[in-house]
Amino acid sequence: MDVAAHPVEQHEAHDHIHPAPTGFIQKYVFSIDHKVIAIQYFVTGLLFMLIAGSFAELMRIQLWNPKGTFMDYHTFNQMFTMHGTVMVWLVLIPLVTGSLGNLVMPLQIGARDVAFPWLNMLSFWLIPVSGLILFSAFLLPDGAPAAGWTEYPPISIQQGTGGIFYCLAIIVVGISSTLTGLNFLVTIFKMRAPGMTWTRMPLFTWATFATALINLFATVALSAALLALLFAQAFNVPFFDPARGGSPILYQHMFWFYSHPAVYIFILPAFGVISEVLPTFARKTIFGYKMIAFSSLAIAILGFAVWAHHMFPSGIAPWLQIPFMILTYLIGIPTGIKIFSWMATLWGGRIQFTTPMMYALAFLGTFSFGGITGVYLACVPVDFHEHGSYFVVAHFHYVVGGGAVAAFFAGFYYWFPKATGRMLSEKMGHLSFWLFMIGLTGTFMPMHWLGLEGMPRRYASYEVFAKAFPDAVFWNRFESLSSSLMVLSVLLVAINIIVSLRSGRRAGNNPWGARTLEWMISSPAPYYNFKKIPIVLDKPYDFTQPLPYRNLDDEHQDPYPVPSEAALPRGATAAVGA
Amino acid sequence: MTAALLERTIALIGSLIVGGTATLQLRNEWPVGGLAADVTKLLLGLMILGCVLALLASLDILGAFAS
Amino acid sequence: MAVSAKARSSAFLERASVEARFHDVDPVYAETRDIRTLGFVLFLLADCILFSSFIFAYLYLRTSAPVWPPVVDGKQIEHLDVAFGAMNSIVLFGSGVTMHFALESWKNLKKAAFNFWIVLTIALGLGFLSGQAHEYLSAPMTWTGSSFGASFFTLTGLHGFHVFAGVVFLTVLAIQANRGVYTGSKYFGLVAGTLYWHFVDVIWVLLFFLFYLW
Amino acid sequence: MSQVAPSAPQVVPVKGLGPGFGAVTVVLTIVNIAMTLAVLYLPLDFLLPSESNAASDSALAVDGLFKFMTVFGVAITIYVTGYVAYFAWVFRRRAGEPINTVGVPIHDSTKLEIWWTVLPTLLLVVLMVYTIVVWKQLQFPNTAASLTTEVVAHQFYFEFRYPGLQGSIYSPKGEMHLPAGRPVKILVTAGEGDVIHQFWVPEFRQKIAAVPGMVTELNITPIRTGRYDIACSEYCGKNHSIMQAKLVVDSPADFDKWLAAARVAAAKAGPTIDLATGDAGAGKTAFTQKCAACHNAAGGFDAKIVGPGLLHIIDDPAHPKLVDGSAPTPEDIENILVKGYTGPIGAMPNRQANGLTDGDIANLVAYLVSLK
């Protein structure tokens, strides 16, 4: 494929390079460079993950004793509310879209930065502001919001001013993720390298595109719901007060209209990471590129039409349950296509067990299992039993913990060398992987049968349930112990970062021998990313073909990139061509 | 000339003038291409619809509730 | 101000020659303008979702209410004053038309006409806001009384806030235009202001229908 | 683009479907069959809800659907995790393998993709049909309910009402009784101004929300006698964790005996007052003396002083008072006057605290009914 076959007009419009940022503030604090912003998102996200994770640990300690004597009920209620709220809005969405999306997407499409760099910086700085508002709720007389991360009225508006802080904080983070969605959409629409048509885009960029669609259109519905909740609590506006014509179910509709697409905001970039990691470490082209790309879009669009499966036993009209059940089943099909395509990608490859690959392989197992328990909850009669029980908690921790967080760690270990120029320690990586997976299974697998036996969710003490099912005490203690393994795993990630930043091996341009554009430039990349905007001739994934790029910065780029010794597990390489 | 009648006449005449000018503007804008122009055409069209609604309201055809 | 097609094309040619003389048309600008336009249109779409969520709430409460308008303290709330609503709507739609003239005159490099039209637009915008204030003072229901009041005041209040933000936006645009920030070929701010103003008109078309005429 | 290091990729070919593919498939299928049999026939009580603790007809239907999904869920899990582990192991990089080896360049096969789109779709269609059958049986039972009971959820206790008896016959610590073998309709709501709760009996595999201002229902035929726990499964405030109640399913005979005893107990609680003798005028004076301090007779529901305004208390369409959404009856006003009422805004004392004689109550009811 030589250049003549693809007449591509030269986009000189991209070629101008802004002057370099000067001074510490402009470089690291108020930077408009998408790579620096990605690192800021990551550090903030990890910090909030540690805090929200410790809330979860406190809950596990409380549940050690069925009488629940460790903390009083109201504190426990604040713990599970803040654990959920912080994990959803200040950890997962910022990490998955803000950190990975910001770092990788502009590089993969061959752009110098996102469409609106200032807006990108604003989007990041709204996250700490939102965190400040949310955590200052602990200082209120009635404490933090305590009605679950869903904050259903009327209870959420009867429980002290914590609810108002919740609404303000989440509207602020909502503005941030709406603007990020808008920024990414315009970037992907308008600023792709010449020649990169829609079917030549890397799959992580496809996933970021589908996520940006959801981010832009769903998040504002949440802002509306929370604005209504704020008015209801602060100014006694009767949206949700049945005595004055309102309806509590209305809030649930408005809330879940956003919150189900929100769970696809977590999982779509995770799918994108898996679609990048598997081909690189199986040294084999992705199987079914078009099906995976279109499945991302199908999931994003279908995600808008299924929200009421969270509300089956909440009093909505019985006939309304059927369409939502059927649409939720339909989402299983594109998800299934993705998982089977990934399995087919593994077939016939040369698989290296680096840490990102370990997380990606485990993702296939845990996420599929989480997806299947999701089908149970989508089925209305079975949901009548499982709604509001620990089965739901098990399902979404498998999909979010075993799915989104595991895939995020895969992306983190995969792109850390590109962001910092240093390799992470594989030994610590594998150890934290096994700790995470064993901890996840030990903590959340027992919740399935605890839920089926009838242990309700959000209970600070379960004496009555423990009397009916004595084995519940053992399983709850088993979970509490296993959850400490997950804490160790996340701490080990932090240690790995600190150690590697100081003394990690140098990662060249392309330690893993990957083929997407971000590996064609130096690590860490200069602020302008590409001296010359590359020209793209084909999909990047076929390892038997030379690299489909022209006009690369590095004249002597090896057309068949191979993993560097630094990346391969010890003793796994021999001289080239031997 | 009660207040309501005054409001109705203002609404009637106004909707004719604004509706007419907006239709003219839409016609002039029609050949122009580009995203901004297309969105402007759409919004102008809907605004003309708004003028029609205001016109019908002023003539008490729409919104005539037996209050 | 109706301009015939022939007159318009000559104005277009004249403007093209003016731009050419300016030579300051940066090749990157066309790219940047398209990016900003797409960004702004997507922002307006997101704003649409905000209003449609509250409109969903209004429709949900209205269809599930036993009787509409709802009964408060034994008395049924009487309907809103359609005549005043229609007049107020025309004020806002008029400001949409004048804003369009403002942008057209800027494109044709007639700065004086631009100033006249944009000031008129701002005046009409403020007129609409004062009309809304009058509507609120004489409204037959309160914000906290019933679901009708809740939906009406929240939606029209949100729209009123958007109109107020639009007035501030246009004032800033007028000042910047006169300070020379925008040239004959680089005037994306004005395009954005016009799009936003038309968007705010169209939202009112929907609210006017939903609260006054239905 | 000069060709630098000749690290042209070395494709490692794969014969057929790969070494041991057949064997692995056979092994996985055997494991799968074993798991299916275990799921269907072993009494895995703790893992799967099974007959041993199913206590209603709907429970059996839901358990059947649950087992159906578990069979396929286990199958998918076994095949996915099995193949991923097998592929990862068989196609791993061998130690000392040259660095430029690459996998087999296959990027899609429409036949395979059609299979794994059509097959899951068929499976989901079958599941859909089976689910709708069970759903219809749960939501719209064909046998008319022999008994309609009411459950009113309050912050942190359930209140159970039985037909024919005015008002609740159970104190907050009361138990709910149901007859085994007879279809029952349970109307569920939350108290006026209360929050959303959920009425959940795990052994019935059924739950429904108790929403203030809305009446929801469950149709159940208990099939096994015994004592069960009712739990609130929707966060409803500080003591949500201890909001439980006991449910006793009796044999039909025991139930009838219990119901009759409960009726006698309710009757003994207070002689039924003959409302016909009430006089509105006397009621008005009694009202000004005893009730005007907290209630406004001239204002509607919103005209609160401490309690709500009482104008149009009888026929106010905007405020359906009673559990089943209909306007209140004089008997209900009498019941509130006798028992008092704890609402969100404050508590109304009962007849002893207000010092109301039977005559006072009859007059007050007549007066309040006259407030049109």
Inter-chain residue contact D195 with A155, CB threshold 8 Å: yes
Q: Cα–Cα distance between D271 and A368 in angstroms, integer?
A: 65
Contacts of A63 (CB under 8 A, 6+ apart): A462, A476, A479, A480
State mean pLDDT over C139-148. Answer: 91
Query: What's the 3-state SS for D135-178?
Result: HHHHHCCCCCCCEEEEEEEECCEEEEECCCCCCCCCCCCCCEEE
Using one digit for the tens of pLDDT, what is the confidence trace for B5-51? 999 999 999 999 999 999 999 999 999 888 999 999 999 999 999 99
Contact criterion met (CB below 8 Å) for A274 and A263: no
Is C172 within a domain? yes
The full set of domain ranges for chain B reads 7-58
Which residue in chain C is spatially nearest to B56 when comparing CA positions?
Answer: C86
Closest residue by Cα to residue D130 from A373, A372, A326, A333 = A326
Whether the CB of C124 is below 8 Å from some CB of chain A: the reply is: no
Distance in angstroms (rounded) separating the CA atoms of residues A244 and C171: 41
Contacts of D318 in chain C (CB under 8 A): 66-67, 70-72
What burial class does residue C67 get, using C-beta atoms within 10 Å of its C-beta: 0-12 exposed, 13-18 middle, 19+ buried? exposed
Task: Report whether A179 contacts A123 (CB < 8 A).
Answer: yes
Asked if residue C40 belongs to a domain, the reply is: yes
* First CA to last CA distance, chain A: 28
Contact residues, chain C, for A239 at CB < 8 Å: 57, 61, 147, 150-151, 154
User: Which pLDDT value is given to residue C86?
Assistant: 94
Beta strands, E only, D203-311: 206-210, 216-220, 226-232, 244-250
With a pLDDT cut of 70, the percent of chain A lying above it is 95
Fold of D275-370: Cytochrome Bc1 Complex; Chain D, domain 2 (1.10.760)
> Scanning every residue of chain C, which has its alpha carbon at the shortest distance from the alpha carbon of A178?
C46
C chain contacts of residue A183, beta-carbon cutoff 8 Å: 39
In chain B, which residue's Cα lies nearest the Cα of C131? Answer: B7
Mean pLDDT lowest among A249-253, A361-365, C72-76, C87-91: C72-76
* Counted domains in chain A: 1
C36-65: average pLDDT:
95
Q: Which two tokens stand for residue D370?
A: 């006259």
Is residue A51 less than 8 Å (CB to CB) from chain C?
no
Alpha-carbon span C139 to A465, nearest angstrom = 54
Q: Do C72 and D318 touch (CB under 8 A)?
A: yes
The residue-averaged pLDDT of A211-232 equals 96
In this prediction, residues A300-323 reach a mean pLDDT of 94
Q: Is residue B41 within 8 Å of B30, Cβ to Cβ?
A: yes
Tens digits of residue pLDDT in A23-61? 888 888 899 999 999 999 999 999 999 999 999 999 999
Range of the domain at C189: 30-213
Tell whether the model's pLDDT for residue A578 goes beyond 80.
Answer: no
Residues of chain D with CATH 1.10.760.10: 275-370
- Nearest beta carbon to residue C42 from set A12, A185, A237: A185
CATH architecture of the domain D147-269 equals Sandwich (2.60)
- ipTM for the whole complex: 0.87
Chains in contact with D via at least 3 Cβ–Cβ pairs below 8 Å: A, C
Asked whether the predicted pLDDT for residue C80 surpasses 60, the reply is yes
> Quick check: helix, strand or coil at residue D199?
strand
User: Which two structure tokens, joined as six digits, stand for D21?
Assistant: 């593919």
| CA-based nearest residue to A101, from A258, A341, A295, A268 | A268
**Within the 157-216 window of chain A, which residues sit less than 8 Å (CB to CB) from chain D?**
158-159
- Which one of D303, D309, D317 has the shortest CB-CB distance to C71? D317
> Going by C-beta distance under 8 Å and a sequence separation of 6 or more, which residues neighbour residue D171?
none
Buried b / exposed e along B32-55 (16+ C-beta atoms within 10 A):
eeeebeebbbebbebbbbbbebbb
Q: C153 or D265, which is more confident?
A: C153
What predicted TM-score, i.e. pTM, was given to this entire model?
0.87
To the nearest whole angstrom, how far is the Cα of A246 from the nearest Cα of chain D?
Answer: 9
| Alpha carbons D186 and D336: distance in angstroms, whole number | 23
Of the candidates A487, A492, A509, A512, the residue with the CA atom closest to the CA atom of residue A556: A509
Domain membership of residue C12 (yes or no) is no
Fill in the amino acid letter for C142. Answer: T
Q: Give mean pLDDT, residues A177-187.
A: 96
Contacts of A115 in chain C (CB under 8 A): 35, 39
Write A467-471 long-range contacts (CB < 8 A, 24+): A468/D229, A469/D46, A471/D46
- Mutation pick from C64, C73, C143 vs chain D, by most beta carbons of D within 10 Å, is C73
What are the residues facing D198 on neighbouring strands? D209
Q: Is the model's pLDDT at A326 over the cut of 50?
A: yes
pLDDT band at D9 (very low <50, low <70, confident <90, very high): confident
Where in the sequence is the domain holding A295, given as residue range(s)?
Answer: 25-500
Find the CATH number of the domain harbouring C143: 1.20.120.80
**pLDDT higher than 60, residue C162:** yes
Which residues in chain A (545-574) have CB-CB distances under 8 A to chain D?
A: 545, 550, 555-560, 562-563, 568, 571-574
Would you state the structure tokens that stand for residue A92, as one six-digit string? 């997962």
Q: What is the mean pLDDT of residues D175-187?
A: 91
